[in-house]
A and B are shown apart, each in its own frame.
Chain A
Amino acid sequence: MTAHAPAEEHAHDHPTPGTYAKIGLVLFVLTALEVGLYEFTYGERAGPLAHDIQPFFIPLLLLLSAVKFALVAMYYMHLKNDSKLFSGVFVFPLIIATVVILAMVALMAYHWAFSRSG
């Protein structure tokens, strides 16, 4: 039975409802920040500072969504406390997926730049 102890141990490590609620609140605030960022950059509330924010708009949005993604995966999907094997099975394809997206975007950007320059 000792060989099975880690799995049982992990099952009892999960956060409490209070922690889940706090994570939920953070996720809600981050989503509000995303929408607020859009509104103040391109939306109806875009002011004189909008032009200065635009270069940081996409990196900030991607950062916010990456934080949200990590919070859900670590706390709600329990990867923080569960077996590292589950993390590996999830993170390895996730890295491949990210590389696929970046490669396709880079390839097409290069293709368009090349075709425009003649």
Chain B
Amino acid sequence: MSDHAQALETTTGLDSRKLAIWTFIGSECMFFATLISNYLVNKGRSLVGPFAHEAWTDPATGKVYEPIIEIPLVTVGTALLLFSSLFIVLALYGAQKGNRKMLVGWLGATLVCGIFFVGMQVYEFTHFVHKGLTLQRNMFGASFFTLTGFHGTHVTIGVIWLATMFYLALRGKLTPNRSVNLEMAALYWHFVDVVWIIIFPVVYLIR
């Protein structure tokens, strides 16, 4: 009996694995809500700079801290994540239709976008630390790194998950009957994307 046929034999008539990943995503919504609340409440309560959008001069040393946020860099990262969402849904379409070339090609493209996004975030964090913003520097730094750091961790986990799917696809093991395995990874990846859709304006654009 195939995986697909087994999946249909449930009381709801739905695949329990999909229901499980949706339940997990629902719980993750509340997890990120707490982090976003934390950021919104604390970002303006810093006693010392650097700040997100304004320069700050240390009265004790006279050192000037430039604004931290760099819109062009993070816009590129946002575009990468959005495109990766498109790519993975095309890969899933390929998996469901048994089109291996489409599956491998688009899944590879998704993986590359994910890796570049993580790279962008690592570069951004390093750059911010060099500009004087650390986790313990001020409330903005603490809430910023906590929120974007947890999101980055989720993206990294997603990249690892996608890499295993890519490996299975290369070995021809993501057949239409087993495409639900990729569908779960895709749902997680889309969730990571929708969280960023909220984080991008809230953290980077709103002053």
Contact = CB atoms under 8 A, between A and B. Distances in A.
Interface of A: 3-8, 11, 14, 16-17, 20-21, 23-24, 27-28, 31, 34-35, 37-39, 42-43, 57-58, 61-62, 64-65, 68-69, 72-73, 75-77, 83, 85-86, 89-90, 92-94, 96-98, 100-101, 104-105, 108
16 contacts: A11-B96, A24-B85, A27-B85, A31-B200, A34-B205, A57-B206, A68-B197, A69-B198, A75-B89, A77-B190, A90-B25, A97-B30, A100-B30, A104-B40, A104-B41, A105-B40
Contact of B19 (A5, A85, A96): A85
Contact of A72 (B27, B78, B190): B190
Interface string B98-111: 00000000000000
A100 B37 contact: yes
Interface of B: 8-9, 12-15, 18-19, 22-23, 25-27, 29-30, 32-34, 36-37, 40-41, 53, 71, 75, 78-79, 82-83, 85-86, 89-90, 93, 96, 186-187, 190-191, 193-194, 197-198, 200-201, 205-207
A64 B18 CA distance: 29
B99 to A, nearest CB: 10
Closest 4 CB pairs of A and B: A97-B33, A93-B26, A24-B86, A104-B37
B74 to A, nearest CB: 9
B109 to A, nearest CB: 12
Given A31-B82, A86-B19, 12 more contacts: A20-B86, A27-B82, A34-B205, A39-B71, A69-B198, A72-B190, A77-B187, A85-B12, A86-B22, A89-B23, A98-B33, A101-B36
User: Most A CB atoms within 10 A — which of B82, B89, B191?
Assistant: B89
Nearest to B72: A35
Given A23-B86, A24-B83, A97-B32, A61 B201 contact: yes
Contacts of B187: 77
A94 B22 CA distance: 12
Given A4-B8, A24-B82, A61-B206, A93 B29 contact: yes
Nearest to B205: A38
A34 B199 CA distance: 13
A40 B102 CA distance: 40
Given A20-B93, A101-B36, A61 B14 contact: no
A86 B194 contact: no
Given A35-B75, A76-B85, A89-B23, A100 B13 contact: no
